[in-house]
Amino acid sequence: MSASDVEPSSKRVTRSVSRAQYTVTSSVASAALQTPASAAVVQPISRPEAPTWTLDRFDIGKPLGRGAFGRVYLARTKKEKLIVALKVLFKKELQNQKMEQSIRREIEINARLNHPNILLMYGYFWDESRIYLILEYAPNGELFRLLRRRGRFTEAESASYIAELTEALLYCHAKKVIHRDIKPENLLLGGYGEIKLADFGWSVHAASSKRRTVCGTTDYLAPELVDRVLYDATIDIWCTGVLLYEFLVGRPPFETDPPSIEETHELIRHCEYKIDPRLISAGPERLIRAMLQRRGKDRIPLEEIKKDPWIVNNRIEKTEIKLAFPEEENDENKKEE
């Protein structure tokens, strides 16, 4: 499939490849949403000249996924032979859903981040109707998909994922970036099965210490967001606690049946959740309770999560290539043959 065969659609995806970091400016990100038939020049930190990305620089492969604003394709750069995920977004849909600011944030923030546990953005460009994000390809897909298939994770798997996410958040917070939407759907898996934090559309560069904007996903909202009061980067620690619970139990701690936003908000406000000792042992229970504190200042710091004995003793060192869904890979290969 050639670049000219790309149909108008998109979503997101990922994988580990050679890493080159690029930066973009706010004015350039805004221009992508407004300027027709132009290519963004993405400034590399370590190179004297920046590449100008265009669609004809890529060989386009199979679709990897789709979303409300477009599709994601497996792609390869013709010159460098770099495997990437090409996220194709429609300007019209973004404007209709008033998502322009979200895309600006994703571009401006993600393009400045370079960490093994964060999905890398290589660059972006645009034409009259679409915006193209060039992203690292994560061959094992969404962690959400693996969790739904497995039901829940072992303590070793859970400790490893939380440790990797903690590393990513330590890096983000050091850069004054709050993610604000941590959930299994926004965690991808690299070739070794390692976490890749993705989707920075709700993220913010917090030059000031406190924010008030409400965003995120209901089951993962911190009490500060539910109550619409000032908050800081500790909301990401709350989300990490929700994730650890979900990894071990198979569902978020504040989920209601039937689903009710109002009831979920009340449970979050009062930090009401149940610990089943058959599913959550003393080690992770202590850590969950330390993260799910009502007040942000009372939550365990990320550095302490990283050094927690349960994390240290259960974390798996990932040194071998691992396929999360090997049987599906085989099925796809058979279909292609």
State the Cα–Cα distance between residues 32 and 276, nearest whole angstrom: 49
| Residue linked to tokens 């003793």 | 313
* Pairing state between β 137-138 and 14-15: antiparallel
Peptide bond into 258 cis (omega under 30): yes
Give the CA dihedral 281, 287, 288, 292, nearest 10 degrees.
160
* C-alpha–C-alpha distance, residues 170 and 245, integer Å: 20
Q: Any idea what DSSP says for residue 289?
A: H
Q: Tell me: is residue 138 an annotated ligand-binding position.
A: yes
Active-site residue flag, 181? yes
Does 87 appear as a known binding residue? yes
| From 56, 181, 236, 331, active-site residue | 181
**Residue 41: φ, ψ to 5°:** -90, 115
Does 185 show up as a binding residue in the annotation? yes
Q: Give the DSSP H/E element, type plus range, for residue 110.
A: helix 100-110
Measured between alpha carbons, how far is 90 from 219 in angstroms, rounded to an integer? 29
Which one-letter DSSP state was computed for residue 57?
Answer: G
Among 172, 224, 220, CA closest to 200:
172
Q: How crowded is residue 331: how many other Cβ atoms within 10 Å of its Cβ? A: 11
Which are the catalytic amino acids? Answer: 181
Binding residues for ATP are: 87, 136-138, 185-186, 199
Binding residues are: 87, 136-138, 185-186, 199
